[in-house]
Structure 1
Amino acid sequence: MNAAGEADHIVMLRDTMRRFIDKEMPRELAQKWDKENVFPRDVHDKLVELGLTGLTVAEEYGGSGRDITATIMVIEELCSRSMAVGCAYIQSTCYAGLNISEVASEEQRRTLLPRVASEGLMVAYGFSEPDVGADLASVRTTAVREGDELVINGNKRFCSGAKISEYIYALVRTGPVEEKYRNLSLVLIPPDSEGIEMTAQDTMGLKGGGTFDISFDDVRVPVSNVVGGEEGLGQGWSKLVGPGLDIEKIEVAAMALGIARGAVNDAWNYAQERVQFGKPICTIQSVRHMLADVKTKFEACRLMTYNAAALIDANQPAAADTSMAKLFVCDTARDIVLTCQQIMGAYGYVRDFDMQRYVRDVLVMPILGGSSAIQRNNIANLLKLPR
């Protein structure tokens, strides 16, 4: 265990990740992926070769066994350099690996999990709709059974990574809308299915895999594509809000943590190199105080994120802790990055420096995976604060 309290295998894996990033994800390539909004599949494939997409897959399905702390660490490291790689890794290990492990049928596990571990198979979430955000149980996209098929109609919004994924992991309504929580199903929909139309959204950040609006017009998939198999019909809500939800919250916290670390490192180095009035600007008290503040806030974020991950790995109750980590880390990371941009002055605003990318990427973190307002509600409710 090192001074940061990390287990030996996490220390070794973090060292491996940093060597990998230096070699396979240099700054100039990360800038190119962001500018051109492209996904570097060759880098994703190299992560697969290292066995890193198997960190959420049990050994019996070809993985290395579930290790949430290690998965979170890999997300942090990747996102400190490139969201184009980091987001795709999450789509494989978490959206695919964790969900399929926890709520899919045994046949689906045996078919799909080996592909997560050995191929880096990815899925994209198809939850939000034009008029549905936090209230996911109000989705209007429908799936009507016809024999051994489901016929899907409706629209989804903010489907990040849909074009680079094997499936859209979609929440659909498979029964009367009046029974809001009882007639929902999760369905694996291939994005190249006939009747699917995708429209790219021009987002401020999170470049790489792309974010899409998706329309379904009589899209047909086998009933066997229902998550959980045929028995999963109408059980989508219980599968959606299961244990994987706690992990999703700290996935986003780890993304924010990685972005913040990249910003702190760049500002820290810049302040020692930038000379004004004959001295490095790190000698100016106001700059020193800003640097001290971001370092302190970053350490608090790190501790909260990895504490929540450790609770999950130990099979301890973690719902409140993951909500608190998601809330605090994402909001604080935003503040950290904006302070780091101030330290770099005008250079933090131009495209030639990574700081502007950190700013664009971090601004969405308090929104992803359940907004900060939702997390505050969760925390109050989980800690049984009287209404």
Structure 2
Amino acid sequence: MDFGEPEHITMLRESIRRMLERHATRGMMAKWDEQDKVPRSLMEHISALGVCGMTVPEEYGGLGRDILATMVTVEELSRRSMVIGTLYLMNSCYGSMNVLASGSEEQKQRLLPKLANGEILFAYGLSEPDVGSDLASVKTRAERRGDKVIINGYKRWCSGAESADYIYALVRSGDPDARYKNLSLVLIPPTAKGVTLTHIPALGARGLNTNDVTLDNVEIPIEDVIGGEAGWNQGWSKLAGPALEVEKLEVAAMALGIAAQAVDDAWEYSQTRSQFGKRICSHQSIRHMLADAQTKLAAARLMLYRGCWLADNNLPCSVETSMAKMFVCETGLDIVLTCQKIMGAYGYAKGFDMERHVRDMLLMPIIGGSTAIQKNNIANRMGLPKA
């Protein structure tokens, strides 16, 4: 086993950090957080690094699949802010990975080259007001009318919908009693007639607005059903495919990035803050807290990268990705709260990054499948009897 970091990953980290210092400084991020708006134009600087092609095969204009490099990109962007990491995910994962895994050949030819160039973004439209983890209970209806599809219903927690080119939405396309058999995935432009976006203010993840989406007789062509004609009523099999496993790694990568920056900030603060005549890094209680945080961060990184390695090598990884999502997010929250304590009032007051790290990290155990859902996945997929 080789635990060393490949040279191209080290170079990738350095290039991302240089880009952020030019185009998304800490001061700029604080302003965007206050305004609850990260400019979509930032995506131009991200795509200029070439990272948008790492989930797209060469035949569609990409660089070829590299899950580890993709997750390291998410991690590094999320050090500055999870919403910057999310902006990238809306392209390379919500978009490219889903189209590649589930799209028709026509959709791949039409969308993947633009995704590889960072030109278009997808937002997820899976949840509804009464539907969270139980996605098979969606009520938003889609009806075939010749070569058109008419959609009516509501979607909730559509983060980034205002910045997206498409909402990747799960809809009920047949008898609701069939649950898993009568679902389809569709692409809905947020600018389409009948689409209304309503901003949901939130504690954290500020910068890419989370939206309620009302769909009133929204019309899309059959070509925008994921998988084309053959994808009608096949949404569940497409939703539960390989892209879902990587989604768990995506959230873990965001959590790792937030936690890593929190540790760096607390580590530096402990060496500049003095109390009782000496730097607080010399107090045993602070040293122990920082040592614990560094150790937990190292363990979280190993778990995430192992999941990436399995996914990159197309090996079974449903258990490992659930473990990574659960462990990194819960451990990351513990790390960030510890770092906030080290910084005291400076970790609580607005104007300091640590306060934002705490707000954002509180979301990590919830999104992308809650901790409770991941525990169910682990127990079920490892064959633990229910009776």
CA contact (8 A) 2:246 2:321 kept: yes
Deviation at 1:40, TM superposition (A): 2.2
Runs of 4 or more above 4 Å deviation: none
Q: How far apart are the structure 2 equivalents of 1:197 and 1:16?
A: 38
Establish whether residue 307 from structure 1 lines up as the match of residue 306 from structure 2.
yes
CA contact (8 A) 2:43 2:118 kept: no
Deviation at 1:308, TM superposition (A): 0.4
1:57-206 correspondence to structure 2 within 5 Å: 57-206=56-205
2:369 counterpart letter in structure 1:
G
1:254 counterpart letter in structure 2:
A
Map Cα deviations across residues 329-378 of structure 1 (whole Å, 9 max, x no partner).
00000010001000000000111210000000000100010000000000
Corresponding residue SS for 1:169: strand
Q: Which residue of 2 aligns with 1:56?
A: 55
Deviation at 1:51, TM superposition (A): 1.2
Q: How far apart are the structure 2 equivalents of 1:120 and 1:369?
A: 24
Corresponding residue SS for 2:59: helix
Aligned identity (percent) is 55
Give TM-score, length-normalised by structure 2: 0.98
Q: How far apart are the structure 2 equivalents of 1:313 and 1:84?
A: 25
2:131 counterpart letter in structure 1:
V
Deviation at 1:41, TM superposition (A): 2.2
Q: CA RMSD in A?
A: 1.1
Map Cα deviations across residues 286-329 of structure 1 (whole Å, 9 max, x no partner).
11110001000000000000110011111111110000000000
Q: How far apart are the structure 1 equivalents of 2:119 and 2:375?
A: 34
Q: How far apart are the structure 2 equivalents of 1:276 and 1:299?
A: 29
CA contact (8 A) 1:157 1:212 kept: yes
1:116 counterpart letter in structure 2:
L
Q: Which residue of 2 aligns with 1:222?
A: 221
Deviation at 1:101, TM superposition (A): 0.6
Corresponding residue SS for 2:178: coil
Corresponding residue SS for 1:119: coil
Q: How far apart are the structure 1 equivalents of 2:96 and 2:204?
A: 25
Q: Which residue of 2 aligns with 1:239?
A: 238
2:40 counterpart letter in structure 1:
R
CA contact (8 A) 2:16 2:49 kept: no
Q: How far apart are the structure 1 equivalents of 2:349 and 2:192?
A: 41
Deviation at 1:82, TM superposition (A): 1.7
Q: How far apart are the structure 1 equivalents of 2:229 and 2:117?
A: 27
Deviation at 1:44, TM superposition (A): 1.1
CA contact (8 A) 1:159 1:213 kept: yes
Q: Which residue of 2 aligns with 1:8?
A: 7
Aligned residues: 386
Deviation at 1:22, TM superposition (A): 2.0
CA contact (8 A) 2:91 2:118 kept: no
1:225 counterpart letter in structure 2:
D
Q: How far apart are the structure 2 equivalents of 1:119 and 1:287?
A: 43
1:121 counterpart letter in structure 2:
I
Q: Which residue of 2 aligns with 1:340?
A: 339
CA contact (8 A) 2:248 2:321 kept: yes
Deviation at 1:226, TM superposition (A): 0.2
Deviation at 1:84, TM superposition (A): 2.8
1:316-335 correspondence to structure 2 within 5 Å: 316-335=315-334
Q: How far apart are the structure 2 equivalents of 1:49 and 1:336?
A: 32
Map Cα deviations across residues 49-92 of structure 1 (whole Å, 9 max, x no partner).
22111110111111111100000000000001022321110010
Q: Which residue of 1 aligns with 2:208?
A: 209
CA contact (8 A) 2:149 2:219 kept: yes
Deviation at 1:42, TM superposition (A): 2.5
Deviation at 1:123, TM superposition (A): 0.5
1:83 counterpart letter in structure 2:
M
CA contact (8 A) 1:83 1:207 kept: no
Deviation at 1:18, TM superposition (A): 1.8
CA contact (8 A) 1:186 1:227 kept: yes
Q: How far apart are the structure 2 equivalents of 1:110 and 1:37?
A: 35
Corresponding residue SS for 1:69: helix
Corresponding residue SS for 1:181: helix
Corresponding residue SS for 2:180: coil
Q: Any stretches of 5+ residues in structure 2 without a counterpart?
A: none
Corresponding residue SS for 2:306: helix
Map Cα deviations across residues 158-190 of structure 1 (whole Å, 9 max, x no partner).
000001001000000010011111000000000
Establish whether residue 293 from structure 1 lines up as the match of residue 292 from structure 2.
yes
Q: How far apart are the structure 1 equivalents of 2:124 and 2:364?
A: 16
Q: How far apart are the structure 2 equivalents of 1:19 and 1:149?
A: 46
Give TM-score, length-normalised by structure 1: 0.98
CA contact (8 A) 2:16 2:76 kept: yes
Deviation at 1:208, TM superposition (A): 1.4
Map Cα deviations across residues 109-168 of structure 1 (whole Å, 9 max, x no partner).
000000011133110000000000000000000001111111100000000000100100
Q: Which residue of 2 aligns with 1:374?
A: 373
Q: How far apart are the structure 2 equivalents of 1:8 and 1:324?
A: 27
Corresponding residue SS for 2:41: helix
